[in-house]
Amino acid sequence: MTQITKRNHLIVNVNGENIQISGDEAFQPLAQFLRNTLHKPGTKVVCAEGDCGACSVVTSTLRADGWTPLRTINSCIAPVYLFDLSCIVTVEGMKDAEELSEVQNKMRDFHGGQCGFCTPGMVCSMAQLAEDCKTSGSAITEKKARNYLTGNLCRCTGYEPILKAATHLDLNKWQLLSERYLTTDLTSKFKSHLSEGVEIQSENKKLSMPTVLTEALRIKSVNPAVRLVAGATDLGVLINKAKTSLQEIMVLNKIPGTQNVSGSASGILIGAMATLTDVENFVKSDHPELKRLLHIFASPQIKNQGTLLGNILNGSPIGDSIPPLMTLDAEIQFQSVRGARSVKLSEYYKAYKVFDKAEDEIATGLFVPALVGNYVHRYFKVSLRKDLDISAVTFAAVLKLDGGTITEARISMGGVGPTVVRMPQVESLLTGHSFSEKTFTAAGSLASSLIKPLSDLRASSEYRHLVTENLFKKCFHEMDTEMNSKMEAVCP
Ligand SMILES: Cc1cc2nc3c(=O)[nH]c(=O)nc-3n(C[C@H](O)[C@H](O)[C@H](O)COP(=O)(O)OP(=O)(O)OC[C@H]3O[C@@H](n4cnc5c(N)ncnc54)[C@H](O)[C@@H]3O)c2cc1C
Ligand code: FES
Ligand code: FES
């Protein structure tokens, strides 16, 4: 049997400097560590819950197949232990020697930095924009700049100069961070540690980062209280708000393959540690409706760090990815020392935060079966604003059509009760009926009569009833338009 080496410290590179981190510091939010331990106060903390982007830094992690793309994340909610064998670039690391970088120069030239608090985060998001556009050879448009800056809040109506700075970047003057920081020296140094696991014990916390699944399953079976942490975008907020405190933690990101997203004729397999960004990029061409929904999910920083599995396993009744994946009949794959099993999403949510999951089980992936035939999809997120907002109501419909008749219907909704739900009665009403506004109006009325939504800060119960009825009508009109335009393309 091969002996697996374990380290009792993390190895991280910050702005070109290699650092070993052990004990309590490994469990701190990255922003706190950067500011208080490394004395890099450029990274600001304002909301401490992933909402404003002031704490944005750029990161890349070395895996067996190379460095992950450099991406911005929110360092206020991300614990340090997620960054083993990672390179982190803060706003201090953007400048080269004593020269400001192109991003910083343009922010200064266009007066993009007014308060000083949001500015470092804006610079980091803009650095990713410059990095991606230069690497792919694409131009910076205002739309692209807005998308990259979705997770950076300016509270003083200063977006115009910030967008001007972004759209005036001269990419010839942008020195790639990947070339500056992900050097061959660093790569070979980190490579020699790739096969090592990490186990860190502080005064009252323990972290396990095994390198093989059998070891992870063993740890979970011996101690079911060990909490799995994926991207920590849900857990990090709870910890910062003192709503939870994790003593025993396990992270699967050192187990090869856990970040993978792969496709075959039978469907898509999404690994437990695959980020929302990776999934969004993967489904871009084959599943544009899912891509559209993921585009308005949170912010780039959250999607670069958070995982799809984390969204599903967190099990919020307003988790945005759950209704579409439920209508696609997706299955969570679980493993424990007792064996493997799959659970359909429609059977996973038993009551508010009560799941069909044994204490010793670890989710290893999500399988999304391929649909073959004439299917149409619509996924809606109803929220107060388009970007970076929590949903009031979510809706997903997948219909199979034969001529003008609905031959199969799958409907799922969130925000209408304690869990996301499949709606079998509504599906029966739609199936076998004509694809018409009348059928959808009847389906909307039935759906509204079946739900028991709460009134809360996001919406009243009455609103949720009304919006449910209206979403069925919207679904009909959008699907009708889509099918008519497909017909026009075939018979112009
Ligand atoms: C600012 C902000 C905006 C957000 N916007 C949205 C949004 O628009 N839509 C939305 O739906 N959500 C949103 N979220 C919530 C969150 O980002 C998502 O739910 C995300 O997908 C969680 O993934 P994660 O990897 O960070 O999960 P984590 O926080 O790491 O974990 C979530 C849960 O899953 C469990 N878990 C993780 N991996 C495993 C495993 N392998 N086996 C068993 N259990 C496991 C954890 O123990 C935990 O209970 C937002 C959060 C923030 C902070
Ligand atoms: S401080 Fe607001 S996102 Fe981190
Ligand atoms: S420039 Fe910082 S909040 Fe507007």
Is there a contact between 154 and 122 (Cβ–Cβ < 8 Å)?
yes
- Ligand showing the shortest atom-to-Cα distance for residue 54: 2
Pocket perturbation via mutation, ligand 2, pick of 74, 117, 233 by most ligand atoms within 8 A of CB:
74
Domain range enclosing 84: 9-93+181-250
Residue 433 in any domain: the answer is yes
- Give the containing element (helix H, strand E) for 237: helix 235-240
Ligand positioned closest to the Cα atom of 107: 3
Long-range CB pairs of 32-38 (<8 Å, 24+ gap) are 33/80, 34/75, 34/88, 34/90, 38/14
**pLDDT given at position 3:** 62
Backbone CA torsion sign across 265, 266, 271, 275:
positive
Residue-level length of the chain: 492
Do 162 and 299 fall within a single domain? no
Q: What pLDDT, in 10s, does the model give residues 184-217?
A: 999 999 999 999 999 999 999 999 999 999 999 9
Q: Of 155, 174, 193, which residue is a domain's last?
A: 174
Cβ atoms of residues 320 and 331 within 8 Å: no
Instruction: Render pLDDT for 228-268 as a digit per residue (tens, 0 to 9).
Output: 999 999 999 999 998 888 999 999 999 999 999 999 999 99
- Mean pLDDT calculated for residue range 69-92: 98
Same domain? For 390 and 317 the reply is no
Round to whole Å and give the CA distance between 123 and 127: 6
- 3-state DSSP helix/strand/coil % of the chain, to nearest 5: 35, 25, 40
Q: Is residue 255 part of a domain?
A: no
Residue 191 falls within a domain, yes or no? yes
Same domain, 324 and 388: no
Which pLDDT belongs to residue 157?
A: 67
Torsion of the alpha carbons at 474, 475, 481 and 486, rounded to the nearest 10? 170
Best residue among 51, 149, 154 to mutate for probing ligand 2, ranked by most atoms within 8 Å of CB: 51
Q: Give me the half-sphere count of Cα atoms (radius 13 Å) on the Cβ side of residue 207.
A: 31
Mean pLDDT (whole number) for 59-71: 96
- Spatial separation of the C-alpha atoms in residues 38 and 21, rounded to whole Å: 11
Neighbouring-strand partners of residue 88: 14, 59
Alpha helices in 256-412 (DSSP H): 276-283, 288-295, 300-305, 308-314, 322-327, 345-348
The 10s digit of each residue's pLDDT in 95-138 is 977 899 999 999 999 999 888 899 999 999 999 999 999 999 99
Please write the tens of the pLDDT for every residue from 331-388: 999 999 999 999 999 999 999 999 999 999 999 999 999 999 999 999 999 998 888 8
Q: How many domains does the chain have?
A: 4
Residue nearest to atom 14 of ligand 1 (CA): 298
Q: What is the pLDDT of residues 418-438, one digit of tens each?
A: 999 999 999 999 999 999 999
- Write the DSSP symbol of residue 335: E
Mean pLDDT, the chain, rounded, equals 95
In a domain, 4, yes or no: no
* Integer CA distances (angstroms), 102 to 59, 116, 313, in order: 19, 18, 41
The protein residue with its alpha carbon nearest to ligand 1, atom 38, reads: 230
Of 9 and 385, the structure prediction assigns the larger pLDDT to 9
Domain-embedded: residue 2: no
CATH number at residue 283: 3.30.465.10
Are 365 and 268 members of one domain? yes
Q: Last residue of a domain, which of 345, 369, 393? A: 369
**Which residue type is seen at 33?**
F
Question: In the predicted model, is pLDDT for residue 224 greater than 90?
Answer: yes
- How open is the CA angle 241-30-47, to the nearest 5 degrees? 40
pLDDT of res. 389:
87
List all residues 6 or more positions away from 323 whose beta carbon is below 8 Å from its beta carbon: 379, 394, 395, 396, 412, 413, 414, 420
CATH number at residue 109: 1.10.150.120
Query: Residue 276 domain-assigned?
Result: yes
Nearest CA-CA partner of 440 in 484, 463, 471: 471
Q: Which residues, 6 or more positions from 101, have their beta carbon under 8 angstroms from its beta carbon?
A: 94, 95, 127, 174, 175
Q: Which of the listed residues 33, 35, 46, 57 should we mutate to test ligand 2's pocket, taking the one with most ligand atoms within 8 A of CB?
A: 46
Q: Tell me: do 157 and 47 sit in the same domain.
A: no
Structure tokens at 94: 């953007």
**Does residue 275 form part of some domain?**
yes
What number is the average pLDDT over the span 24-28?
A: 97
Percent of the chain with pLDDT over 90: 90
Q: State residue 250's pLDDT score.
A: 98
pLDDT for res 98:
80
How far, in Å, from the CA of 389 to the mean position of ligand 1? 14
177, 127 contact by CB (below 8 A): yes
Verify that 80 and 195 share a domain, yes or no: yes
Strand ranges in 15-154 using DSSP code E only, listed in sequence order:
17-21, 56-63, 66-67, 71-74, 86-89
Residue 407 belongs to domain with CATH number? 3.30.390.50
Please report the pLDDT score of residue 1 as a whole number.
52
**Boundary residue ending a domain (224, 250, 276):** 250
Q: Give me the pLDDT at residue 248, please.
A: 97
Q: pLDDT tens digit string along 280-330?
A: 999 998 899 999 999 999 999 999 999 999 999 999 999 999 999 999 999
Domain membership flag for residue 86? yes
Q: Are 268 and 353 part of one and the same domain? A: yes
Q: Give CA–CA dist 71/365, Å, rounded.
A: 23
> Is 156 touching ligand 3 by the criterion CB < 6 Å?
yes
Give the per-residue pLDDT at 492: 63
Q: Which residue has the higher pLDDT, 490 or 168?
A: 168
51 in ligand 2 pocket by Cβ < 6 Å?
yes
